[in-house]
Amino acid sequence: MKKRIIIANWKMQLSFKEAKFLAKEILIKIKKKEKEKKKLKDFDIVLCPPFMSIAEVAKIFTTKENSKRNILSCGAQDCFWEEKGGFTGEISPLVLKELGCKYVILGHSERRQFLGETNEMIHKKVRTVVNLGLIPIICVGETREERDRGLKEHTILTQVSKALEGINLKIYQKIIIAYEPVWVIGSGQAIDSQEAEYMAKIILQRTIDIYPLPIVHNNIRIVYGGSINSTTVRSFINQETIDGVLVGSASLKAEEFIKMCELMPL
C-alpha cells in the first residue's frame, strides 16, 4: 500500500504572522502527541501556506525536532512554468525549491476559474516542477454543469491526460493527483466517499494508460479534496484507491487538523 498523505491548503486565508503561528502550533501539537506516546502513524503531512509566508514556514520545518522524523513538509499553492525570466509577478519553482518547498499545488479549480488557467498552462507547470524534482499536486475536477450533463468522466480524463501528456516519469520523480469536484469546494458538504472512490479509479486507469505499472504503483498517489474535515476524513482515506486528502478550511485550525491526522490509517 502507498504511503498516505494529508495536505493542507491554506489558500489566501492567513496573514504572514497567522501562517507562521499556525505552522508552529501544528508542530508543537504533533510533538506533544508523541510525548504522550500517541505517536502519529507513518504518513506525509504537507502544509501549503500563502506565498509570502513560505520562507518562514519552511524554516520551522528545518528545526531539529521536525527534521529528525521529517514530520512536516512545506508546499506552495502555485508556481510559474519557467525557472526564471521576464515574468512580472510570477513565482519561480526554482526559488520555491531553494526556500525548502517539496510540493506544489497546480491547476486548482479556483485558479482555473478566476485566473483563466488552461490545461496547456497547467501541463507546462507540471513538466517544469517534475524536472526540478518537486512533487506536483495536480488538481482535477468537474463543475456542477459538467456533472449534470454527464461529462464528469470526460472532464477528469481530459484534465489528467493534458496535464501528463509527454511527461515521462523517472523512478525518482513523483506526482500526486487530487480529485476535487469543483461544485463542493467551500460548500462544507463532501461528496459520498464511494463516488470519490469511483472517480479515483477513473484517474488511476488513465495513469495506467500513460505509464508502466511499476511507475503508477510507486510514483503516483491519488487524493481527494473538497470539504474534508475530521468527521469525514476516515470514510475517504479508507477507500482502496484514495491515498490521502487535500484539506482546505478545516486545516486552518490546529486542533481540527491534528484530529484529522490522528484519524489517518496506516
Catalytic residue annotation: 108, 180
Q: How far apart are CA 83 and CA 81, in angstroms?
A: 7
Asked if residues 37 and 258 have their Cβ atoms less than 8 Å apart, the reply is no
Q: Which residue has the cell 506552495?
A: 76
Q: Which residue has the cell 513538466?
A: 127
Q: Which residue has the cell 502513524?
A: 41
Q: Which three cell numbers stand for residue 223?
A: 487524493
Q: Which three cell numbers stand for residue 72?
A: 512536516
Asked if residues 118 and 107 have their Cβ atoms less than 8 Å apart, the reply is no
Q: How far apart are CA 12 and CA 47, in angstroms?
A: 13
Q: Which residues contact 108 (CB under 8 A, 6 or more apart)?
A: 9, 77, 78, 139, 180
